[in-house]
Amino acid sequence: MMTFRQHLSTALAFCVLSAAPLSGQAQQSELLPLPLDEVRMFTEALDRIRMAYVEEIDDKTLLENAIRGMLSGLDPHSAYMAGQEYDALQETTSGEFGGLGIEVGRENGYIKVISPIDDTPADRAGIEAGDLIIQIDNKPLRELTPEEAANMMRGEPGTEVTVTIAREGMEPFELTVVREVIAITSVRSRLLEPGYVYVRIAQFRLNTGEELEDELREKYEEHGELKGVVLDLRNNPGGVLQASVRVVDAFIEEGSIVSTKGRLEGNDRTFSASLSTIAPDVPLVVLVNNGSASASEIVAGALQDHGRAVVMGTQSFGKGSVQTVLQLDDARAIKLTTSLYYTPSGRSIQAQGITPDIIVDDAFVTRRSRSISQYNEADLPGRLANGNGEETVDSDEEMAEALISAEQVLVTDYPLNEALNVLKGVNAFKPAARSTTGSFAQRDAL
């Protein structure tokens, strides 16, 4: 009777001899034969683990662990997913799942927070992009994959999980966070000042591009011609590639947006702008930081290369690879890095990131209060009337009221304040650049 090792060796040898293409996409080149010596060593190691490990372990678990090991050794984003892990990926793409609300990667064996998702338990607890999670419920995580760590943080809404955080310049500390149903709001917007719109994209989902277009149309209908848009991609971990393409397409009328290149023929693709652009002329500033990754970098890089936007903030994360989910059966799949993406100018941002046009670090800034001895011409008794027939300005009251909105932005979000100033500068020095030809109302009527 054949032993387990003999059965496995026979099966692997058959794979070596057949060397058939994995799929229709791979038929352009034959697979290289497996090295026989390494196959024998693998089966020997597997057999010894089965026989000598301190506890009995089933063959299915060993083989699944072998697959996990193969993928985890490739890059931080390739992974094996089974059962709940696969379901979790589907939930994240659809936009609703139970957990803390963070996107994670791997760094030096630890779990690194790429970014917390807006208005989630992780965000409210103070978890920040760049934090290292070194323990979950007192279990060290150095040898876990990001997917395994994410699975540990998921769970029933209302249950607690304790994470130990290592942050630069601080001693490790614990945070106890209550899980919630994470329903991601992909796009939200608000008016900063008359004519200036703030748009925040938290994550790129299937319908993000459509949501962005709806938000812009709504703001135009409510407030008339737009003087400028701040597109905030800070701490946006990325998501669906096609969604990022549609976001860029909302702001440019022609040209390449992104291209992907891989080993297989079907992975070499170029995505270009269409005629459905709705805001080609509105001045645009894009905010990025170290938590801006993947699809966020596609958007920032494309708009930067086309000269369509001023990119501000700090260096982005640098994830320039594309993952494809290859389903093995109904409950298992592998997430495999299959290609790299390139901006319109042909640059890869892999492990480099997007360098902003204007570097703006996070800072806490307040305006200096007005000196009690400071006064203007309008404050003087017996002053002359304004020659233009306009009313004088009450500098103490009216000016203070006019600055309330700007003061709030400055104190709470310095980079956003600087982005708003850039847009004001564009309008101050190039007023003729703004035209109603790009208005949503007129373009929709064409």
- How sure is the predictor about 276, in pLDDT bands with cuts at 50, 70 and 90? confident
Is 297's pLDDT higher than 50?
A: yes
> Mean per-residue pLDDT for 88-100?
66
Lowest mean pLDDT among 32-46, 155-169, 358-372, 427-441: 427-441
List of E strands, 88-242: 96-99, 102-107, 110-116, 132-136, 139-140, 160-166, 173-178, 180-183, 187-193, 196-201, 228-232
pLDDT of residue 107: 72
CATH code of 96-183, in short, is 2.30.42.10
Q: Which of 131, 232, 249, 305 is catalytic?
A: 305
pLDDT one-digit tens code per residue, 179-210? 998 776 789 899 999 999 999 998 898 899 99
pLDDT one-digit tens code per residue, 140-162? 877 666 667 777 888 888 999 99
Consecutive H or E run containing 50? helix 36-52
Q: Which of 294, 321, 339, 439 is catalytic?
A: 294
pLDDT of residue 224: 85
- How sure is the predictor about 368, in pLDDT bands with cuts at 50, 70 and 90? low
Q: Please report the sign of the dihedral spanned by the C-alpha atoms of residue 207, residue 213, residue 217, residue 218.
A: positive
Residue 191 CB neighbour total at 10 angstroms: 14
pLDDT one-digit tens code per residue, 9-60? 555 554 544 444 444 444 444 567 888 899 999 999 999 999 999 999 999 9
Are the beta carbons of 374 and 432 closer than 8 angstroms?
Answer: no
Helices (H) and strands (E) in the chain, counts: 13, 19
pLDDT of residue 307: 97
Give the residue with greater pLDDT, 3 vs 198: 198
Share of the chain above pLDDT 90, in %: 49
Residue 319 bears catalytic tag: yes
pLDDT of residue 78: 93
pLDDT of residue 334: 93
> Mean per-residue pLDDT for 82-106?
70
Lowest mean pLDDT among 76-80, 141-145, 315-319: 141-145
Q: Please report the sign of the dihedral spanned by the C-alpha atoms of residue 312, residue 316, residue 322, residue 323.
A: negative
Residue 9 bears catalytic tag: no
Token code pair at residue 322:
């594309």
Give the residue with greater pLDDT, 387 vs 280: 280
Q: Which of 112, 227, 319, 335 is catalytic?
A: 319
Is 327's pLDDT higher than 80?
A: yes
- How sure is the predictor about 363, in pLDDT bands with cuts at 50, 70 and 90? confident
pLDDT one-digit tens code per residue, 397-419? 544 444 455 555 555 688 999 99
- How sure is the predictor about 90, in pLDDT bands with cuts at 50, 70 and 90? low
Which CATH class name applies to 187-359? Answer: alpha beta
Is 445's pLDDT higher than 60?
A: no
- Annotated domain spans of the chain: 96-183, 187-359
Nearest to 270, CA basis, from 245, 249, 294: 245
pLDDT of residue 402: 42
Q: With 0-12 CB in 10 A as exposed, 13-18 as middle and 19+ as buried, what is 167? A: middle
Q: Please report the sign of the dihedral spanned by the C-alpha atoms of residue 87, residue 154, residue 245, residue 438.
A: positive
Is 129's pLDDT higher than 90?
A: no
- How sure is the predictor about 335, in pLDDT bands with cuts at 50, 70 and 90? very high
Mean pLDDT value across the chain:
82
pLDDT of residue 331: 81
The pTM score is: 0.74
Residue 305 bears catalytic tag: yes
